[in-house]
Chains A and B, each alone.
Chain A
Amino acid sequence: MKRPLKAVTVFCREYTIIPILLVIFAVFSIYSESFFSVTNMLNILQQSSIYGTMALGMTFLIISGYFDLSAGVVMGLSANLVIILQRSGFSIGLSIVTTLVVSFFLGSINGILVTKARISPFIVTLAMMITGRGLTYFLCGGDQIDSPYERFMDYANGKIWGISFLSITFIVLLTVSAIVMKYSKHGRDTFAVGGNADAAFNAGINVDRVKTINFIICSLSAGVGGVMTASRMNAATPFLGYPDGAIMIITCVVLGGTGLQGGYGSVLRTLGGTIAYFMFRNGLNMMNVTTAYYYILTGAILIAIVTLDKLQGKKRKKVLQEE
């Protein structure tokens, strides 16, 4: 009788986000009438998919020990870029490809400045955030811009069997990332670099290359998020993603239990964190809670979860030592 119970405790201690998700789910199912339905669950999945996609890239970067403050602004920049390209005569496909190429380059600039110029990643991405914000305003001139194509909206608002294309994109990217993380050399190297960069270097891993690739993955996923955002609104505003876009993405990752110190985490955790965040938001919305309470509760829960995780982590270490 004791053993399975212990297994459950250990599991919950390891994946703190799962009991939290269950609690959020149960509470809202009881207290809100319209929360518990298949449509609403799909709705939550759709709401999670843009930030979830960006959080996937951030997960790679955080596991290798860094974070990217510019991701939110890169998202805003990409959204504005894709619209402005369409307005200047690019076709939809070409505008999306160009935008992704630009976000690829922004990521490689981050990566090269960190690995070759040896500037701290915090400073590099902060500078990228400020510059990117300026470029965004430069692109759109400080106003909202609309896409000339009605069709562009079809991607974000289209559905197959009730599941939106946004969610499908997210799930596909999630699967790919999970496979890359677990089975590819790059995935294993990412964990090694985040865990102990010196040891990874001594083991013959090209540390700089792994870091640069992760900066690119992060920026590229922010670019994808930007295209998704632009497609959903069929427009873009200069305020997208500043100042706390990147921090919201990091929050989704950290809520899932991936540690900011690096070397530990998974994209499935990020899925859990993102869903928990948006389920909470959706549930509060369903109960007609005002934005003010939403801010207060989100902030309090964020602090509580990270603190709990820290305390649990200490216990986890103790258990390991005892064994």
Chain B
Amino acid sequence: MNSEKKPRSKLARFVSNHALLIGFFVIIIFFSLATNNFWSKANLLLLLRQACVVGIAACAMTYVFIAGNMDLSVGALITLSVLISVDLHDKIGPLPSILLAIACCIVIGIINGFIVGYLKVHSMIVTLGMMMILRGVMLLYTGGQLTWVDNPNETWFSIFGRGTVLGIPFPAIMLFVFVIIFELVLKKTTFGIKVQATGGNPNAVKYSGIDDRKIVLITFIFSALMSAIAGLVMGSRTMKFQIEIAFGHEFSAISAVILGGTSLSGGFGSVYKTLIGVLIMASLYNGFLMLGLPYYFQWIVQGVVILIMVGFDVLTKKKEGSL
């Protein structure tokens, strides 16, 4: 083909390297011009707040994907964390309930990780089964009833979802800190490189003496831990529990990871790009409501945006000959 011989212009290379960021800015500019209220401090902060729950869960989901697996139990784990932190808040106090929520989620993460990592069972089926078990356990515990915190304004638990620091929502600060930590660990530590190797080249990992089973186990524990924290944020914001509160959140997190360009077969990916994926999804959600369109339009557009972004990515890689 001709295009392979021709050296590509700087602009084209810039566009293909930063397609995701450019797409994000296009969406932001479009909504800012098309609606009156999108580009206002209050709305942008609201948007950030809306992005936090999925964003925090998606940080660790990126790791799970890079190591070559997926975690469908994230939605149920978030719900579990909301249930424990909200229901037990008035009974045993905020700190014990938070610790218990995190501990329970980590135990589930260990079980997931053990079955996927050590027994080599397909992660989709295992985590789906876990999702059903958790849903059942939660139904059994609550009897299908709502539970809530009695005095939501008088507890320090509200800081996770409702608090602000210097005008910035506290969960957004948590999200950014987690993104930075996860990105640094992924790119700068041997553990991060091992995670990438586990998904990218299992044979090489085997021969170089890395215990890939342990790496998979750890990614699932991370995923459960971050789901627990996302659940704390959600529980603290709503102060209520309802069984469908995080319905389908696993697919939102997965969509964000995919939008961020993380390879599905494992091997490479970036947490910072996942963050942009999360922000794109949140802007679409927020912007379409601002436009006054029915809520379901966001889903139609979300699917198309994922296809366009990923299609563009595949196309540019093909041209560069790296695919």
Could you list which residues of chain A lie within 8 angstroms of chain B, going by C-beta atoms?
113, 117-120, 122-124, 126-138, 141-142, 242-244, 247, 250-251, 254, 260, 290-300, 302-303, 306-307, 310-311
Q: Chain A's nearest CB lies how many Å from the CB of B115?
A: 6
Least CB distance from A110 to B in Å reads 11
CB distance from A3 to the nearest CB of B (A): 32
Nearest residue (CB) in A for B139 is A292
Q: B299 contacts which of A131, A296, A310, A311 (Cβ < 8 Å)?
A: A131
Contact A122 B132, beta carbon cutoff 8 Å: no
A130 & B310 in contact (Cβ 8 Å cutoff) = no
- Flag if B297 contacts A299 (CB, 8 Å): no
Closest to A294 in B: B136
Q: Confirm or deny: B294 has a beta carbon within 8 angstroms of a beta carbon on chain A.
A: yes
Chain A residues with Cβ under 8 A from B296's Cβ?
Answer: 133-134, 136-138, 142
Stretch at the interface among B4-12, B91-99, B188-196, B251-259: B251-259
B103 contacts partner chain A, Cβ-Cβ < 8 Å: no
- Per-residue CB contact flags for chain B residues 270-306 toward chain A (1 = under 8 Å, else 0) read 0000000000000000000000001111111111101
Please name the residue on chain A nearest to B303 by beta carbon.
Answer: A131
Is the CB–CB distance between B294 and A118 below 8 Å? no
Q: CA of A303 to CA of B127 in the docked complex: distance in angstroms? A: 9
Question: A132 to B129, alpha carbons, bound, how many Å?
Answer: 25
Specify which chain A residues have a CB less than 8 angstroms from the CB of B135 in the assembled complex.
Answer: 295, 299
A160 CB, min distance to chain B CBs, angstroms: 36
Chain B interface, DSSP helix/strand/loop, else mixed: helix
Q: Which residues of chain B have C-beta atoms less than 8 A from A298's C-beta?
A: 129, 132, 136
Complex partner residue of B137 from A118, A128, A135, A296, CB under 8 angstroms: A296
Determine the distance from Cα of A4 to Cα of B102 in the docked complex, in whole angstroms.
52
Please give, as numbers and ranges, the residues of chain A lying within 8 Å of B126 by CB-CB distance: 303, 306
B120 at the interface (CB under 8 A from A): yes
B1 to chain A, nearest CB (A): 16
Instruction: For A306, give its contact among B122, B255, B315 (CB under 8 Å).
Output: B122
A/B interface sample: 28 pairs, CB < 8 A: A113-B311, A117-B314, A117-B315, A124-B307, A127-B303, A129-B251, A129-B303, A130-B251, A130-B302, A131-B299, A133-B299, A134-B296, A134-B297, A134-B299, A134-B301, A134-B302, A142-B296, A243-B250, A247-B124, A247-B128, A250-B124, A254-B125, A295-B132, A296-B133, A296-B137, A298-B136, A302-B125, A303-B126
Given contacts A123-B306, A133-B299, contact A118 B314 (CB under 8 A): yes
Cα–Cα, bound, A299→B302 (Å): 30
Task: Give every chain A residue within 8 A of B129 (Cβ-Cβ).
Answer: 298-300, 302-303, 306
B125 touches A120 (CB 8 A): no
Residues of A close to B247: CB separation below 8 A: 243
Min Cβ gap A317→B in Å is 13
Chain B stretch 74-125: residues in CB contact (< 8 A) with chain A:
115, 119-122, 124-125
Q: Give the complex CA separation of A122 and B128 in angstroms.
A: 16
Residue B214 at the chain A interface, CB threshold 8 Å: no
Query: Given the complex of chains A and B, what is the CA–CA distance between A129 and B315 in angstroms?
Result: 23
The answer to whether A310 and B140 have CB atoms under 8 Å apart is no
Query: Is the pair B139, A126 in contact by a Cβ cutoff of 8 Å?
Result: no
- Determine the chain B residues whose CB is within 8 A of the CB of A247 once the complex forms: 72, 124, 128
Chain B min CB distance to A197 (Å): 14
Residues of chain A within 8 A of B258, CB atoms compared: 122-123, 126
Which positions in B face A, CB cutoff 8 Å?
72, 115, 119-122, 124-126, 128-137, 139-140, 247-248, 250-251, 254-255, 258, 264-265, 294-304, 306-307, 310-311, 314-315, 318, 323
In whole angstroms, what is the CA distance A238 to B42 when docked? 33
Measured CB to CB, the closest approach of chain B to A46, in angstroms, equals 23
User: A130 contacts B306, CB within 8 Å?
Assistant: yes
Question: What CA separation (Å) do A122 and B254 show in the bound complex?
Answer: 11
A295 to B134 CA separation, bound complex (whole angstroms)? 8
A254 contacts across to B, CB distance below 8 A = 122, 125
Query: Are A296 and B248 interface neighbours, CB within 8 A?
Result: no
Inter-subunit contact A299/B132 (CB<8 Å):
yes
Asked if B130 and A127 sit within 8 Å, CB to CB, the answer is no
Inter-chain CA distance A113–B134, complex, in Å, is: 35
Whether A292 pairs with B140 at a CB distance below 8 angstroms is yes
CA distance A299 to B136 in the complex (A): 9
A303–B136 CB distance below 8 A: no
Are B311 and A300 within 8 A (Cβ)? Answer: no
Q: Name the distance in Å between B127's Cβ and chain A's nearest Cβ.
A: 9
CA distance A311 to B294 in the complex (A): 49
Which residue on B lies nearest to A242, using beta carbons? Answer: B248
Q: Among A117, A127, A297, A306, which residue has its beta carbon within 8 angstroms of that of B304?
A: A127
In the docked arrangement, what's the CA distance between A105 and B55, Å?
34
Q: How far is the CA of A247 from the CA of B135 in the complex (A)?
A: 15
Residues of A with C-beta under 8 A to B298 = 134
A138 to B302, CA, bound (A): 14
Q: What's the nearest-Cβ distance from chain A to residue B267, in Å?
A: 13
Q: Are A292 and B136 in contact (CB under 8 A)?
A: yes
Judge whether A292 and B297 touch: CB under 8 Å: no
Min CB distance B199 to A, Å, is 14
Known: A113-B311, A130-B303. 9 other contacts (CB 8 A): A117-B315, A130-B299, A137-B295, A137-B296, A242-B248, A298-B136, A303-B126, A307-B119, A310-B119
Which one of B121, B131, B294 lies within 8 Å of A310 (CB-CB)?
B121
Q: A117-B314, A126-B306, A292-B139 are in contact. Are A306 and B133 (CB under 8 A)?
A: no
Chain A residue nearest in CB terms to B265? A120
* A115 shortest CB reach to chain B, Å: 13
CB contacts (< 8 Å) of B133 on chain A: these are: 295-296, 299-300, 303
Decide: A120 near B264, CB < 8 A? Known: A291-B139, A303-B125, A303-B130: yes
8 Å CB contact of A251 from B125, B304, B318 = B125
CA separation between A177 and B255, bound complex, in Å?
33
